[in-house]
Chain A
């Protein structure tokens, strides 16, 4: 079995292009939701942004790499991703919002490093997704280590409480991502991934729960997406990640 070779420089090119595109052009599925919501300022913002970023907070660059197990990426992968971010920030006039240390707070000046998430998947392709996340909404995320006895009612109460605390500070209408299950760190990860899901939930039980939570929040939301994961007999972790209306992401398959 031979491995497909991909030069990490292709990763740099992809990240550079995807990061700028994500900051300037919303995905069609997000636009459709915002047309339905109907705030004219927001529609004008994404229809006529004049080739500058939709939002001044061009985020911390979250870069998701779904790496086929039959791929050999040659070169320094984190360095290649950061070089893509650096190039995007310079060529796309994006904002440098990253400080090198959380307490000493020196801006790195080029918005690096990116937050990189890698996942091994079958196949010989690499799917690259760049999802810039501003901190107006990121600051509104919460985790609760609920107990099995809290059950579905506990989950609903926590989601609604978190969503109501998020607006109007995070820019409404928001996309509400909910992670249920896993452990402390996995639940945060799946809540954040849930925000980016397109299309309906394939599990009808969770699709119904999404609809119920959306009905309760639709004055200020464009949707509720849930991702669930196996968990422990003693636990019911729940996390809520808020995506602002500038719900930015772009993907490419190498």
Chain B
């Protein structure tokens, strides 16, 4: 195991979030929820209307991905991260509602970085373009909201040792080998 590799389970507590530092290699086990562009728009509309979300965001992680259909005998198809900045407009409201973590790829805007600090959250990066590899760490996949969105529906994933790294930690420190 990598010297700096850490294992965490969901849902996340503030204590867990504070134990993670920019650049750490992290393995996630537990439940995570998928949402990308179209689902974020719907989640934001629900929050703005004061309605409850289809899952309780408290302590949870959202993974920005839209998987390919599961072939026979597998729980999910290819499921790598999509580019995160497209979700920036919707993110601060979700973090204020209790969401603790996000998994995606690439840079975030300043408003998101500020919201990460203010709410003690963490933004993880998964290896972009490696959806076939990352599918191996997903043990179960169920659609829990917005099935009409197809790949963009909210899926509940059960993951084991899902590999990510910390791109932005709760103090706002950033790490990427490409920055």
Using a CB–CB cutoff of 8 Å, the interface residues on chain A facing chain B are 39, 41-42, 44-46, 48-58, 93-97, 105, 107, 109, 136, 139, 167-172, 219-220, 244-246
Q: Give the total number of A-B pairs whose CB atoms are below 8 A apart.
A: 126
Chain B at the A interface: mostly helix, strand, loop or mixed?
A: loop
Give, as a whole number of angstroms, the nearest-CB distance from A111 to chain B: 10
Collect the chain A residues with CB atoms within 8 Å of residue B107's CB: 168-169
**Are A136 and B128 in contact (CB-based, < 8 A)?**
yes
The number of residues on chain B lying at the interface, defined by a beta carbon within 8 Å of a beta carbon of chain A, is: 39
Contacts A57-B66, A170-B128, A246-B129 aside, 11 further interface pairs with beta carbons under 8 A come to A39-B127, A44-B130, A45-B127, A50-B135, A51-B71, A55-B132, A56-B65, A57-B80, A169-B105, A172-B128, A219-B178
Whole-angstrom CA separation of A53 from B69 in the bound complex? 10
**Are B178 and A52 in contact (CB-based, < 8 A)?**
no
Known: A93-B69, A93-B71, A136-B82. A168 touches B178 (CB 8 A): yes
Residue of A nearest to B107 (CB): A169
Residue of B nearest to A49 (CB): B132
> In the complex, which of the residues B79, B82, B136 contacts A50, with contact meaning CB atoms closer than 8 Å?
B136
Whole-angstrom CA separation of A46 from B131 in the bound complex? 10
**Are A41 and B130 in contact (CB-based, < 8 A)?**
yes
**Which residues of chain B (142-162) have a CB below 8 Å from chain A?**
149-152
Whole-angstrom CA separation of A44 from B80 in the bound complex? 14
B70 part of interface (Cβ distance < 8 Å): yes
Whole-angstrom CA separation of A38 from B147 in the bound complex? 39
Residue of A nearest to B37 (CB): A105
Collect the chain A residues with CB atoms within 8 Å of residue B80's CB: 55-57
Give, as a whole number of angstroms, the nearest-CB distance from B34 to chain A: 10
**Are B128 and A54 in contact (CB-based, < 8 A)?**
no
Known: A56-B65, A139-B83. A244 touches B129 (CB 8 A): yes
**Are B83 and A53 in contact (CB-based, < 8 A)?**
no
Residue of A nearest to B148 (CB): A107
**Are A52 and B78 in contact (CB-based, < 8 A)?**
yes
**Are B176 and A44 in contact (CB-based, < 8 A)?**
no
Collect the chain A residues with CB atoms within 8 Å of residue B68's CB: 52-53, 56, 58, 93-95
Whole-angstrom CA separation of A55 from B133 in the bound complex? 9
Which 3 pairs between the two chains have the least Cβ-Cβ distance? A169-B106, A171-B128, A171-B129
Residue of B nearest to A108 (CB): B150
Collect the chain B residues with CB atoms within 8 Å of residue A244's CB: 128-129
Whole-angstrom CA separation of A49 from B107 in the bound complex? 27
Collect the chain B residues with CB atoms within 8 Å of residue A58's CB: 68, 78
A-B contact pairs, 28 of them (CB 8 A): A45-B130, A45-B131, A45-B133, A49-B132, A50-B132, A52-B131, A53-B77, A53-B132, A54-B129, A55-B132, A56-B68, A56-B131, A58-B68, A93-B68, A93-B77, A94-B68, A95-B68, A95-B77, A136-B105, A168-B179, A169-B84, A169-B105, A169-B106, A169-B107, A170-B83, A170-B106, A170-B128, A219-B178
